[in-house]
Structure 1
Amino acid sequence: MKIPRLLLITDRHLTPNLTATIAQAVAGGVDAILLREKDLDDPALTLLAQTIQNTIAPSSAQLLISARPRVARAIGAAGVHLPRDGLPIPAVRALLGPSRIIGRSCHDLASARHAFAEGADFITLSPLFPTRTHPDTPPLGLASFASMVRNLNGPVLALGGITADNVHLAMTAGAHGIALIRGIIDQDNPARHAEKISSSIKYFISG
């Protein structure tokens, strides 16, 4: 089980060719893809997931499925990432088994602690910075984020408003890694942006 350092969350509406964008992002250093296409039914999502799984197969990148563990099990994905109010982690663990990764979306210290107590392998904590995805949600800010990370016993991926220009701030605040959408998926050169972010993460890991 390998906890992601650079997790790309999909939104196929932001790119003309999702699989090509994913291939470029993985080439640039993305080590996990989170397939989150809420408007697709299970058969369509399963088909897309299998296509992505085949796309990233030559690499060491992992595929996680958002919210739907049965789809993850059906295609042999590395794991799932559950929404804040999603399925209980013990139930998902029973379905997927001990070797699959289970993450949880969290937005405050209480929900983060609960997620780890339930057995989450990692969480995303958001939004760190202001974000176009949720413009009306106040950001946590670096000080609050850092304080939460210090009070948690598990890997935390920073999410929300992160770009190649501010990823170092998230890592300095204690993030295990980064999760993002727009910082890569809607860029003209996904590989280059992924490489810049991945390099920043590796710098802090090695430092």
Structure 2
Amino acid sequence: MGGKEDRLGPDAAFRAMRVLDASANRAVEGLRVLEDYVRFMLDDPFLMGELKGVRHELTAWLERLPMDARLAARETLADVGTTIKGLQEARRQDLSQLVDANFSRVREALRSLEEYAKPAAPDLAAAAERLRYRLYTLHRAVRRTDQARARLAAAKLYVLVDGCESESELECLCDDLVRGGVHVIQLREKRLDDRALIGRARAVRRVTRGTGTLFIMNDRPDLAVLAEADGVHVGQEELTVKDARTIVGPDRLVGVSTHDIEQARQAVLDGADYIGCGPTFPSATKRFEAFPGPAFLRQVAAEIRLPAFAIGGIHEGNLGMVLETGFRRVVVSSGIVRAEDPAAAAKRILDLLSQVGEAP
């Protein structure tokens, strides 16, 4: 520990090493449990890589504590703490409790490392602090991914609608979509003033309430709350996930548009419930300067398990190209809403989606 034990005195330094050794062991063990969870339960390469990165960085810093000194200070048989067990340690009601308990265990161990390393190894203390803050973010990302996967497990077909010419026309369209089995309807409307827009939003809510179809409001978390929507969707230039969540609260969905793999990774860490990935193809409803295309979808499918929907110019004719990337969730607009029979068009796409494996 750099010859600075004299700050504490030999006996105190020896006992501090016992604390550092025990805290290091707890942290690394807890991280391994969490890695196994995201690896085998979530099958999530991105989050596993993030947790493994924390463990590897911690292990590298712990090399500054000589193993000979750690082993000399270790005394498991005489440790009074090994005989004291809390009731919760022996019980886990479900796997979410396992996740929460081990994130807490690692953070607490890192805090102990941070404090006891300050007298003799301030660099290690600073590293423990940084890693602890990273784990707060990863805890949210793991639990949000788990919850979103459960909530959106059946959601494969997501349809964008505008405000139409009237509330009654919009209600008729949304009724067709619900009858067609659409899982999510998003109202994306840029022309109307707020008073008219909230009227349209409430019309969508009237049709979807009590059905299996979720209602998402585009860009406007305030109107999502007023219309009692199931969530809000924001782009890269709109409100952040944090700001949207502040308005809609913890229970409504927050989706994010992403256009490259770094944005997709960041959305996971930001606590989004799902991501839209694209544009995949040129769209009749929105102009884009660039198209990340199917290559981007393959990147996301390979490493991210937060629910992800391919978006941009998707229709019945090119759906096969999307499915080849590994995606099983799609956003469709004109390919359904401009069809002569939107309900039938939706059912045809759902039939195609049902012929492949489950959504990742």
Q: Structure 1-normalised TM-score?
A: 0.89
Find the counterpart in structure 1 of residue 144 from structure 2: none
* Identical columns (%): 29
Which structure would you say has the larger RCO, counting Cα contacts within 8 Å and 6 or more residues apart? 1
- Which residue of 250, 273, 284 corresponds with 1:98? 250
TM-align CA RMSD: 2.3
Map 1:51-130; keep pairs closer than 5 Å. Answer: 51-130=203-282
Contact 1:112 1:123 in 2 (8 A): yes
Contact 2:261 2:299 in 1 (8 A): no
Contact 1:123 1:156 in 2 (8 A): yes
> Counting helix residues as a fraction of each chain, which structure ranks higher?
2
Q: What is the deviation of 1:88?
A: 1.4
- Which residue of 156, 175, 178 corresponds with 1:5? 156
Q: 1:14 to 1:111 in 2, by over 3 A?
A: farther
Q: 1:144 to 1:79 in 2, by over 3 A?
A: closer
Q: 1:25 to 1:84 in 2, by over 3 A?
A: same
Q: What is the deviation of 1:189?
A: 0.7
Q: What is the deviation of 1:138?
A: 3.7
Determine the C-alpha separation between the residues in 2 that align with 1:137 and 1:55.
35
Contact 2:260 2:296 in 1 (8 A): no
In structure 1, runs of 5+ residues without a counterpart are: none
Determine the C-alpha separation between the residues in 2 that align with 1:172 and 1:96.
35
Determine the C-alpha separation between the residues in 2 that align with 1:102 and 1:136.
23
Determine the C-alpha separation between the residues in 2 that align with 1:127 and 1:145.
10
Based on CA coordinates, which of the two structures has the bigger radius of gyration? 2
Q: Which ranges of 4 or more aligned residues in structure 1 deviate by more than 6 Å?
A: none
> Counting strand residues as a fraction of each chain, which structure ranks higher?
1
Q: Structure 2-normalised TM-score?
A: 0.53
Higher deviation after alignment, 153-162 or 166-175? 166-175
CA deviation string 1:69-97 (max 9, x = no partner): 01111121100000121111112212222
CA deviation string 1:150-194 (max 9, x = no partner): 133412100112111222332331224111211111111101110
Determine the C-alpha separation between the residues in 2 that align with 1:130 and 1:92.
28
Contact 1:116 1:154 in 2 (8 A): yes
Find the counterpart in structure 2 of residue 169 from structure 1: 321
